[in-house]
Structure 1
């Protein structure tokens, strides 16, 4: 490959650390992917079929489950194929497509969690105005903005990365990551870094918004009765758990991308990188299906009538 050119493919070198464990890993990950698809599809079908669940909070949860299927589809099929393959090369277009899938999944997860946090904030702090503020048109606008926002945020960074000349093709991970691709650059990535930091600020802004809304909710709960506090906690706990889980997963992925953890423990590096794309899609439907009584009740009614 000539200096300053784009490679035709990238090597995902982290698969070499799996070695003889690839067959047990394939079986485990295939079962895990099946559980993710099954759990999210159940939540989607229940919310879609039950008219009593056609409310803003449940519609937003449905969108969150759809995003889990979207993110999993952008990662698992390719990952499962690579586990059984002797070569772990991915073409340039496939690599950048995977980057867009995974990063847009992560950004939409954040924006949708912000929408759910806003919904809970209005329900708890302004209950009398809830139906006026969370109308059907308002929910449609929120969902549309949540879909459009990741595209607008990620497109500039993707264009810069795609046009950056590269002098290598080894990516020390089990999937393509934008920061690791930029590390292969033949030229300075100052502009990419500035744009990346700015976009990271806009991406992580929803985290601050979610944290702010739940702090406000907790402050309001302190003034209520024990019965009202319990009711609010039951309603908000699944959202708080899924938000905390995703925030930790995002933090682990950022740490893994910025520091060479694979030099100290290759296996730990693989586990941490998988947490980002595996744990949230499986935790979200389980938390909502078990903890939210209306969803749990309708799951039992639809699938366990006998």
Structure 2
């Protein structure tokens, strides 16, 4: 463990050569982070304050927005500090903490989106048993495990990386992820391959489940005009959210595994930031505009403020 204890800091090379644009990047990044907080917090507060929105779909949506704030909190504050600094380093503990937050947030996204797909499947395909299936006790358990399982799986993955002997401290990205930390290990280990492999397979199973549920949803909704209307109103936003989350994460993973060295640093940084920028911003906007109840509550609140 001597090699591990010798490394106390990691260097992040993602911002190298971008000193001339730091001021502009800082302003744009701060603006994006403020927008993410505004749109997500608006949805969270509206759902919590309005008792008529204390239904499974809105509870899951509230947790999706909370997870958006949780995941981005693991990146933006540190990134903003790095933009204003001439040295881009992160402590040993801070690097593992950042990796844990980003990975667990991505896992929680898939868990919550799978719950939302299950909720819509039961509501539309099995409406007679909806209230007996989606009880308050079950919803609490679903939400609890949607957070616990990603935390537990990523904790195991982080531990296997943490106990590895590292022979380097250079991370070619703007933030820490377990895969890149693991690449610094002096030797390969079975656990280092098995646990991440299991995690990827586990969450790929979530995607398959959502696709399966939507096949049934589409078949069911095609039979009636009311079903098609319900699908467009409540299922379409969820489907868009799933495509956005899967697309941005898959793009980042494929680039990290098979990325080209010929790309400019700016393009690499944008691809690294995609899943921390697009889903946390787009998801609450989609639901805020598309779900009638939430849109009406926000509009009534704004009208009260304008006329007061």
Aligned with 1:164: secondary structure? coil
Matched with 2:84 is 84
Aligned with 1:304: secondary structure? helix
Q: When the two structures are superposed, what TM-score results if normalisation uses the length of structure 1?
A: 0.95
**C-alpha distance in 1 between matches for 2:76 and 2:140:** 30
Runs of 4+ in 1 over 6 A off after TM superposition: none
**C-alpha distance in 2 between matches for 1:4 and 1:40:** 39
Render the CA deviation track for 1:160-200: whole Å, top value 9, x for unaligned. 10011111111110000111111111112443112221221
Matched with 2:203 is 203
Aligned with 2:14: secondary structure? helix
Q: When the two structures are superposed, what TM-score results if normalisation uses the length of structure 2?
A: 0.95
Aligned with 2:10: secondary structure? strand
Matched with 2:185 is 185
**C-alpha distance in 1 between matches for 2:199 and 2:136:** 30
**C-alpha distance in 2 between matches for 1:53 and 1:42:** 14
Render the CA deviation track for 1:224-255: whole Å, top value 9, x for unaligned. 22343123222111100011000001101211
Aligned with 2:16: secondary structure? helix
Q: Single out whichever of 196-205 and 160-169 deviates more from structure 2.
A: 196-205
| Preserved contact between residue 166 and residue 184 of structure 1 (Cα < 8 Å) | yes
Gaps of 5+ in 2: none
Matched with 1:254 is 253
Q: CA deviation at 1:210?
A: 1.2
**C-alpha distance in 1 between matches for 2:239 and 2:174:** 29
| Preserved contact between residue 220 and residue 227 of structure 2 (Cα < 8 Å) | no
**C-alpha distance in 1 between matches for 2:235 and 2:281:** 19
**C-alpha distance in 2 between matches for 1:243 and 1:6:** 42
**C-alpha distance in 2 between matches for 1:4 and 1:125:** 54
Render the CA deviation track for 1:43-78: whole Å, top value 9, x for unaligned. 111111111111111011011111111111111100
Matched with 2:104 is 104
**C-alpha distance in 1 between matches for 2:289 and 2:198:** 38
Matched with 1:218 is 218
Aligned with 1:156: secondary structure? helix
**C-alpha distance in 2 between matches for 1:105 and 1:260:** 23
Aligned with 2:168: secondary structure? coil
**C-alpha distance in 1 between matches for 2:191 and 2:67:** 31
Render the CA deviation track for 1:95-137: whole Å, top value 9, x for unaligned. 0000011011111111000111100000110111111111111
Q: CA deviation at 1:4?
A: 6.5
Q: Single out whichever of 10-19 and 61-70 deviates more from structure 2.
A: 10-19
Matched with 2:12 is 12
- CA change 1:261–1:304 in 2 (3 A) is farther
**C-alpha distance in 2 between matches for 1:218 and 1:59:** 23
Q: CA deviation at 1:18?
A: 2.6
- CA change 1:3–1:128 in 2 (3 A) is closer
Matched with 1:45 is 45
**C-alpha distance in 1 between matches for 2:198 and 2:140:** 28
- CA change 1:19–1:189 in 2 (3 A) is farther
| Preserved contact between residue 7 and residue 92 of structure 2 (Cα < 8 Å) | yes
Q: Single out whichever of 136-145 and 265-274 deviates more from structure 2.
A: 265-274
**C-alpha distance in 1 between matches for 2:182 and 2:5:** 13
**C-alpha distance in 2 between matches for 1:293 and 1:250:** 29
**C-alpha distance in 2 between matches for 1:204 and 1:169:** 31
Q: CA deviation at 1:19?
A: 3.0
Matched with 1:265 is 264
| Preserved contact between residue 261 and residue 269 of structure 1 (Cα < 8 Å) | no
